[in-house]
Structure 1
């Protein structure tokens, strides 16, 4: 089930802090019993769901949410890559960080990570876009509507490598059933 209570908490807390779109956002929460799997650690699918809240927090704090609502736009994830390094156990206090690491004409790239006791547990790189009924909205149009001095942010070398690798990735072949 989607963590609606955490979403409401994220909305309330995001109203108290303002950031720029290039700031690193952070939020803290506890791993709850409904977050764990049969191995008594946070389920990997739940981590991906909780990363949604981190993106929503940054969108809210930097002032992009009113722009999305006004224009009837939405944010969509178009690709992701995740690495796991350390287990998150029940009741661990988790700090999640979210930051924009690149913006090109079509995509906004984010890096998100979860940490427990100062140690990295997982990290996700995400390709996102703003959409409308007609499809993707060019980042230049989003930046103009945002009106916050936002600009294209060239990706760092590691991100350029990831983008290049993703562009060369093949879709699985169609399998007849």
Structure 2
């Protein structure tokens, strides 16, 4: 799941507006739902879709297909940090693509990540 996200960074202006400026990508959380096993050492296709973003995080959906069948769907919450601080995703995205229209993530995506900090706090 990491490789496709970084491929997007390196093949776009995101690289100039993040990595070159000393920022590094942080994966805050990820969820994956398996429908069928992905067969080891067999070719599969993965698509990355931007679900939305807020000022701190960007949310992606990643769909894994093998033999034209969906095997798994993953969701990630990621951002960029510098000097121990989260950087503005709004600013990064607008600098990388001035035509980009900010789109908030759907409620169902936010809901998946809603209890992450509570889980960490309670140690469960």
Output the TM-score relative to the length of structure 1.
Answer: 0.61
Tell me if the contact between 1:78 and 1:127 (Cα under 8 Å) persists in the aligned partners: yes
Contact 1:105 1:152 survives alignment (8 Å):
no
Q: Report deviation, 1:81.
A: 0.9
Residue 76 of structure 1 is matched in structure 2 by 26
Per mean C-alpha deviation after superposition, the further-off stretch among 143-152 and 62-71 is: 143-152
CA distance in 2, matches of 1:70, 1:150: 21
Where do residues 90-129 of structure 1 align in structure 2 (5 Å cutoff)? Answer: 90-129=40-79
Query: Does the Cα contact within 8 Å between 2:31 and 2:75 map onto a contact in 1?
Result: yes
Give RMSD over aligned pairs. 2.2
1:142 aligns with 2:70: no
Give the greater-gyration-radius structure (CA): 1
| Higher strand content, 1 or 2 | 2
Following superposition, the deviation at residue 53 of structure 1 comes to 0.8
**Partners of 1:66 and 1:173 in 2: how far apart?**
38
Tell me how far 1:152 sits from its aligned partner.
2.4
Match of 1:63 among 1, 10, 13: 13
Cα offset for 1:94? Answer: 0.4
Deviation at 1:85, TM superposition (A): 1.6
Which residue number corresponds to residue 171 of structure 1? Answer: 121
Mapped partners of 1:90, 1:167: distance in 2: 33
Q: CA deviation at 1:100?
A: 1.1
CA distance in structure 2 between the partners assigned to 1:61 and 1:83 by the alignment? 28
Q: Which of the pair has the greater relative contact order for Cα pairs under 8 Å at 6+ separation?
A: 2
Q: Is residue 58–residue 98 contact of structure 1 (8 Å, CA) maintained in 2? A: no
TM-score by length of 2: 0.83
CA distance in 2, matches of 1:61, 1:72: 17
